[in-house]
Structure 1
């Protein structure tokens, strides 16, 4: 994550998201994947695969293993950490998340003027 100041945005798409589910959302002009883990916590990552920018929400989500396989070319990511499983050495950009008791989920977008996603070409 960036060291820039963060601005917090509500993510209505994540309201009522069941544990073990994920959703694609646009937050302040950025495509974000919001994950509601089985332990009740939330995580947020770039919404596009770092390989060839396929939408990650269209991939195969294994909530028990906490892995997501991109539908484009089968790249797989650990959604507990954002690290690449296959291939290793690639990771998803991770956004800060705040979940509030009333069910609101907020994503922090760094205010550094950049877009926030990692790119990894074929490794």
Structure 2
């Protein structure tokens, strides 16, 4: 677990309906940050079905899901749960904070 927060971007660079990948240098974890109607969420940028980056996929802001382009697995960006096969395991969720107009996240797993 890391107490160090990773800078993602400024709030103006991640608009509603957009997602942005970032790399947690401390833990070596790829993280994907989502803006759903102004609410920010972060998941590990790795499909739980196949080790493939979710950032290559498609964000559906209406459903609040991201779809892996490899096999079509979808995940809820709010909590990381798998929404359909072939994925059955959730994707780890991470905290997000806004400080002085900047978006930050971190891998908080113990």
- Counterpart of 1:26 in structure 2 is 23
| Higher CA-based Rg | 1
Q: How many residues align?
A: 107
CA positional deviation for 1:15: 5.7
How many Å separate the matches in 1 of 2:50 and 2:2?
A: 29
Whether the 8 Å contact between 1:19 and 1:37 is mirrored in structure 2 is yes
How many Å separate the matches in 1 of 2:109 and 2:50?
A: 25
Which consecutive unaligned segments of at least 5 residues does structure 1 have? 113-123
- List, as ranges, runs of 4+ consecutive aligned residues in structure 1 with deviation greater than 6 Å: none
How many Å separate the matches in 2 of 1:52 and 1:78?
A: 17
TM-score normalised by structure 1 residue count: 0.75
Which consecutive unaligned segments of at least 5 residues does structure 2 have? none
1:46-93 CA-partner distances (Å, limit 9, x unpaired): 001111111101112111111111001111111122111003742110
